[in-house]
Amino acid sequence: MNPKKAISILFPPKADSTYHVMSDTACHDIGLDTICEKLTLKKNEQRMILSVMRMMTDDPEVSNFRIGVFSDILAFPDMRKKMLALLDEIRFLNDYGSFKKEHEERSGMWDFLHRLSELNDYIKSVEAIRECLNAYEIKSEGLKNIKDYMDAVYEASSFAELKRDIQELNADTATLRSITLGINLNRSFEVESIGLISVNNKEFKSSGILSNFAEALSTKDGIHDGNDWNKSYRFHPISASSAEFTKKTGRFGDFYAMLQQPFIGAALASKTIANVPEQDSSAYLTHYFDQEVSHLLSHLTRKLEQILSKHVSLSIGDIADLIPEFTYYVHWAEYIESLKESGLSFCTPTVRIPEDFSSAEKGIRMKAQQIYNLKLAVATEISPEEIVKNDLDFSDGHTLYLLTGANRGGKTTITQAIGLLFALAQGGISVPGEGFSFSPVDCIYTHYPADEDKTLDLGRLGEECQRFKELFTACTENSLLLMNETFSTTSFEEGYFIAKDAVKAILMKNIRTIYNTHMHKLAFEIEEFNTLSTKSKAASLVAKSEEGRRSFQMHIAPPEGKSYAEDIALKYGVTYEALLEE
């Protein structure tokens, strides 16, 4: 595997998948936006997770890829925590380190040492990520790709050389403890120039600088012959930041800062020093030392420059880009775990590829067993045991469901639940239920009643018709279309006339559809609809009720032929008898 190739655990390493973006309206209609808000308190993470979920493709390889990654992350809680921590270290280096920054040609030694430390941290992080992934029996292609990527980076000759070079440079610089300066004086004992004598691996020891100076002058051989240092002088430290230091040296540290190379003349420096503001002299001393040490150790800095430029294209950016993707899976895993602990059931979805199934199963594009509406389950206070579960499938014989039944009998709930199942499964996430196999959809489209303020120009029916035409045009036979009381804003006869033509067109386009409607007459036309196409068929799905009691169970059955107005009237006390009793 090429270590320079970008890696992802959301998108398999192929470039021919086509993605469609689910609309904000559809996300809201199926409750996906509400669920994503429960995963994290951070708004930016909520937006990121929703943006991943709404990018949809019918490519089965993408769904399989994500399902595998999520299964691994869900199975190994310790691994996901370690990986997030390690990736966060990489992100810090990527965001705040010097890897992406341009450096001046003559950067100082201290800057190089800082960059050296960053590279060392990078090496440790790569090694730790490798060790973490190797410690678990991961099965997914996505995490194996990261493991292979890290192995390739680690084993590449460039990485091995980088590690070796940094170890050598660390050995060279780790012992730097002091610097020796030489100061030239004129006849008036004024400082004329200054230069770097040596860089040492030992610190100077403290003693009286005045007594040292007096002793050096009073002894017979006090004035040293020549300028070779015999290492016999003792040392007395003075804080470069102290006011006394600044006063006695005439801002000597500022003078240092003006010198860009050893033994530059004092005349030029004195013209500049007058304009230097009163500041902490230690900053100027450090700057000067930085320049002088870099000059003295030019062979070392050149070597470090070569190493940095040679490895500047290493994969730190690619690794840092994995953090949002890991965050996506980790938040979902933690959320699903918490719901499982509360008693809710989840299963790993299975991608259905028609050619992999027997002749009896061909044409089945979704098979859902004991599924339920996740949004409703987490929004209500009912116990998991009270949640009503249903079975449903999309197949050649059940391409379009005309869903009828009692008001508040669960029609909208099951319609929304199907949309959530596809969104979750194609995002790789475990789905609510006992079993879910599916052929991916290229997008989810919803047609729910519009808000009043959106229908002022066209009228409610006009707006519904226009919006349906746009959705129908966008749909393909690989889409999922969810319709909730479509064409119900006008008279029954007008709505029925439009809805009948819409159903025919949907069947001819072979779109997986649930049409939740109060127009039971549509469901009585099933046989007529099914003469239109040999590939796709409509079916009547009924939300059952017994003696006015809603069971929230869905059954494939002929429509019951009721508007359920009597049930509603009895419930709210608006029958003739109930009204007269008041």
Secondary structure (H, E, C), 508-560: HHCCEEEEECCCHHHHCCHHHHCCCCCCCCEEEEEEEEECCEEEEEEEECCCC
Average pLDDT estimate for 326-345: 95
Q: How high is the pLDDT of residue 267?
A: 42
Q: What does the pLDDT look like over 280-291, one tens digit per residue?
A: 444 555 555 555
The domains of the chain are located at 57-174+314-324, 178-204+238-297, 345-581
Percent of the chain clearing pLDDT 90 (strictly above): 38
Q: Which of 254-258, 349-353, 431-435 has the lowest mean pLDDT?
A: 254-258
Condensed to tens digits (0 to 9), the pLDDT of residues 423-446 reads 999 999 999 999 999 999 999 999
Higher pLDDT, 195 or 553: 553
- What are 415's two structure tokens? 């319609």
pLDDT of amino acid 251:
40
Higher pLDDT among residues 320 and 103, named by residue? 320
Per-residue burial over 102-141, b if 16 or more Cβ lie within 10 Å, else e, is: eeeeebbbebbbebbebbbebbebbebbbebbeebebebb
Residue among 241, 317, 312, 308 nearest 279 (CA)? 241
- pLDDT > 90? residue 514: yes
Strand partners, 438: 351, 366
Which amino acid would we find at residue 168?
E
pLDDT for position 29: 95
Instruction: Count CB neighbours of 317 within 10 A.
Output: 13
Task: Write down the pLDDT at residue 341.
Answer: 94
Task: Give percent of the chain with pLDDT exceeding 70.
Answer: 62
In the predicted model, is pLDDT for residue 554 greater than 60?
A: yes
- One-letter amino acid of 275: N
For residue 453, name the pLDDT band (cuts at 50, 70, 90): very low
**Residue 137 CB partners (closer than 8 Å, separation 6+):** none
More confident residue, 259 or 281: 281
Of 282-286, 477-481, 515-519, 575-579, the range with the highest mean pLDDT is 477-481
Higher-pLDDT residue of 574, 52: 52
Region 513-529 average pLDDT? 91
Q: Are 477 and 510 in contact (CB under 8 A)?
A: yes
Residue 384 banded pLDDT, cuts 50, 70, 90: confident
Q: How confident is the model at residue 259 (pLDDT cuts 50, 70, 90)?
A: very low
As a whole number, the mean pLDDT across the chain is 76
Does position 354 have pLDDT exceeding 70, yes or no?
A: no
Per-residue pLDDT averaged across 197-202, rounded?
A: 70
Please give the pLDDT value at position 172.
57
CA gap 407, 518 in Å, rounded: 8
Residue-level pLDDT at 219: 56
CATH, range 345-581: 3.40.50.300
Among 43-47, 268-272, 332-336, which is the least confidently predicted range? 268-272
Report the C-alpha dihedral over residues 488, 494, 498, 504, rounded to 10 degrees. Answer: 100
Residue 270: pLDDT over 50: no
| pTM listed for this prediction | 0.74
Stretch 152-171: mean pLDDT, rounded? 69
Q: How far apart are CA 418 and CA 348, in angstroms?
A: 15
Checking if the pLDDT of 10 tops 90, the result is yes
Residue 497 half-sphere exposure toward CB, CA atoms < 13 A: 6
The candidate with the shortest Cα–Cα distance to 216, out of 233, 229, 228, is 233
Instruction: Calculate mean pLDDT across residues 284-301.
Output: 54
Q: pLDDT band at residue 484, thresholds of 50, 70 and 90?
A: very high
pLDDT at 268: 38
**Residue 203: pLDDT band with limits 50, 70, 90:** confident
Q: Which one has a higher pLDDT value, 452 or 141?
A: 141
Q: What is the pLDDT of residue 402?
A: 95
Least confident of 66-75, 96-105, 398-407, 465-474: 96-105
